[in-house]
């Protein structure tokens, strides 16, 4: 059996990597991610974690290192934040295109310039089109559980996964966490099956330059061209929603906890008005929904746990029966609006029963967002749609 520990989300991520028996760790320190790598380095130094820790000079090199290690069959882990994630941008595409099952903790932080060390989700949202699965956690318990689930999912479908959680709000806040035992995790997460085909004896190129159209190999077998590789990645990412749901159900059967698969709901059974968000902000939204209920407004919360692949059918299912849907998110797609609301509107276009959708950008660079502010803004949308607004901003 596991045990309850008072730990931060960063410690939860480090413990999860250890419980998953990672074999190679490589990361470069950046606030607020640094404690994750410090704790893993200490585990390796003490012998508590039997793994290689690769010290590198940048985030780009950190991801390049674990891509290479994963390609030869190792279970790997890395972590980053903000501009460090952006520095990895080229290698993010390389990891997804290589179909390596990397799990990376992304501790969300605002992107410079100007500099901030505080939280928003602009860093990971800006990388949503790199071919990675993105999962957003609302608390430290979900961080440790999602990390463990992520290895099962990534190794099943051979696609890398970002486990995202809010910097400082979660990363440095100590809360009770039920830490699973090693035996429980070993039963849930089997040893990594090496699918690389690399044995060290037969020389081979990995990811060589390929041409546009399919061409036969040396044995006359027609092999995919560049576009076929992209198509396969897209189809497998879309298909991962079923794997995410299945793994979450298996996790519930093993550990007694479920996180809703791709999307979770709070007081949505009879809700007439939905509040929609991701990460720790979605937890704040549940407090706002309770406040609105006390005022006679039938409000509920839709929490988006998986942003890529975008869970369109689940969003449609939750929102088709409500009158209004108010989105709160810590990001902006410059020149348009919040990315989550934008994608949800596209999904709801296919629904015959669409709510009035309102969109708020909130909390950028660590700006405080209080439940009563969320309730007040939602109430304004109940009385009439707000197409796109920045909450609590001057000028």
pLDDT tens digits for range 363-387: 999 999 999 999 999 999 999 888 8
Six-digit token string for 356: 């009035």
pLDDT computed for residue 395 by the predictor: 66
133-136 and 306-308 strand pairing: antiparallel
**Residues 82 and 115 sit within 8 Å (Cβ to Cβ):** no
φ/ψ of 28, rounded to 5, equals: -120, 135
Whether 49 and 177 map to the same domain: the answer is yes
Which domain-ending residue is among 188, 218, 253? 188
Within a domain: residue 343?
yes
Within a domain: residue 223?
no
The C-alpha atoms of residue 336 and residue 120 are separated, in whole angstroms, by 18
Structural domain harbouring 173: 3-188
- Give the CATH number for residue 301: 3.40.50.920
The C-alpha atoms of residue 147 and residue 106 are separated, in whole angstroms, by 11
Over residues 70-88, the mean pLDDT reads 97
- Helices 339-348 and 312-319: angle between axes, nearest 10 degrees: 80
Six-digit token string for 100: 């390596």
- Give the CATH number for residue 109: 3.40.50.970
Whether 184 and 272 map to the same domain: the answer is no
- Of 125, 120, 110, which is closest to residue 162 (Cα–Cα)? 125
**Residues 43 and 18 sit within 8 Å (Cβ to Cβ):** yes
pLDDT surpassing 90 at residue 117: yes
Within a domain: residue 253?
no
The C-alpha atoms of residue 134 and residue 131 are separated, in whole angstroms, by 9
Whether 176 and 42 map to the same domain: the answer is yes
The C-alpha atoms of residue 41 and residue 55 are separated, in whole angstroms, by 10
- Please tell me what DSSP assigns to residue 265: E
Within a domain: residue 224?
no
- Of 287, 290, 291, 265, which is closest to residue 276 (Cα–Cα)? 265
pLDDT computed for residue 201 by the predictor: 76
Which domain-ending residue is among 188, 215, 239? 188
CB proximity list for 107: less than 8 A, separation 6 or greater: 9, 10, 32, 33, 36, 79, 80, 81, 165, 166, 167, 171
Six-digit token string for 218: 């040396």
- Of 130, 51, 142, 70, which is closest to residue 105 (Cα–Cα)? 142
Within a domain: residue 113?
yes
Lookup result for tokens 């956690």: 137
The C-alpha atoms of residue 53 and residue 362 are separated, in whole angstroms, by 38
How many domains in the chain? Answer: 2
Within a domain: residue 230?
no
Whether 305 and 165 map to the same domain: the answer is no
The C-alpha atoms of residue 163 and residue 175 are separated, in whole angstroms, by 19
Q: Provide the whole-model pTM.
A: 0.96
Whether 30 and 139 map to the same domain: the answer is yes
The C-alpha atoms of residue 142 and residue 138 are separated, in whole angstroms, by 7
Over residues 249-267, the mean pLDDT reads 98
Which domain-ending residue is among 135, 155, 188? 188
Max distance between CA atoms of the chain, in angstroms, equals 72
| Long-range Cβ pairs for the range 181-186 (8 Å, 24+) | 181/1, 181/2, 181/3, 182/19, 184/1, 184/2, 184/254, 184/255, 185/19, 185/20, 185/148, 186/21
Lowest-confidence pick of 42-51, 164-173, 217-226: 217-226
CA dihedral angle for residue 144, residue 154, residue 91, residue 263, rounded to 10 degrees:
-60
pLDDT tens digits for range 149-166: 999 999 999 999 999 999
Within a domain: residue 35?
yes
Within a domain: residue 92?
yes
**Residues 361 and 389 sit within 8 Å (Cβ to Cβ):** yes
pLDDT tens digits for range 304-335: 999 999 999 999 999 998 999 999 999 999 99
């Amino acid at each position: 059996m596991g045990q309850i520990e008072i730990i931060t989300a960063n410690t939860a991520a480090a413990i999860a990597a250890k419980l998953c028996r990672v074999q190679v760790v490589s990361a470069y320190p950046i606030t607020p991610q640094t404690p994750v790598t410090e704790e893993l380095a200490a585990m390796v130094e003490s012998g508590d974690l039997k793994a290689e820790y690769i010290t590198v000079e940048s985030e780009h090199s950190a991801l390049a290192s674990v891509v290479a290690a994963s390609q030869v069959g190792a279970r790997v882990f890395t972590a980053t934040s903000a501009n460090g994630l952006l520095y990895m941008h080229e290698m993010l595409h390389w990891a997804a295109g290589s179909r390596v099952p990397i799990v990376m903790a992304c501790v969300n932080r605002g992107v410079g310039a100007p500099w901030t060390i505080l939280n928003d989700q602009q860093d990971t949202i800006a990388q949503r089109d790199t071919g990675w699965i993105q999962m957003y956690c609302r608390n430290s318990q979900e961080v440790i559980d999602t990390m463990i689930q992520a290895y099962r999912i990534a190794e099943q479908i051979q696609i890398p996964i970002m486990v995202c959680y809010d910097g400082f709000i979660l990363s440095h806040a100590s809360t009770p966490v039920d830490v699973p035992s090693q035996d429980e995790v070993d039963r849930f997460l089997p040893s990594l099956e090496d699918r690389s085909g690399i044995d060290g004896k037969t020389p081979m190129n990995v990811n060589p330059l390929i041409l546009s159209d399919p061409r036969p190999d040396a044995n006359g077998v027609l092999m995919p061209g560049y576009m076929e590789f992209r198509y396969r990645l897209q189809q497998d990412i879309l298909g991962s929603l079923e794997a995410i749901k299945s793994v979450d159900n298996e996790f519930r059967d093993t550990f007694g906890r479920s996180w809703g698969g791709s999307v979770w709901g709070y007081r949505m059974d009879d809700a007439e008005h939905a509040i929609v968000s991701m990460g720790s902000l979605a937890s704040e939204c549940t407090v706002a929904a309770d406040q609105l209920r006390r005022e006679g407004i039938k409000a509920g919360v839709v929490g988006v746990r998986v942003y890529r692949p975008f869970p369109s059918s689940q969003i449609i299912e939750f929102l088709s029966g409500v009158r209004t849907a108010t989105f709160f998110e810590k990001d902006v797609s410059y020149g348009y609006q919040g990315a989550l609301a934008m994608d949800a509107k596209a999904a709801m276009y296919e629904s015959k029963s669409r709510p009035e959708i309102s969109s708020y950008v909130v909390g950028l660079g660590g700006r405080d967002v209080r439940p009563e502010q969320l309730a007040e803004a939602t109430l304004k949308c109940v009385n009439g749609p707000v197409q796109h607004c920045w909450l609590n901003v001057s000028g």
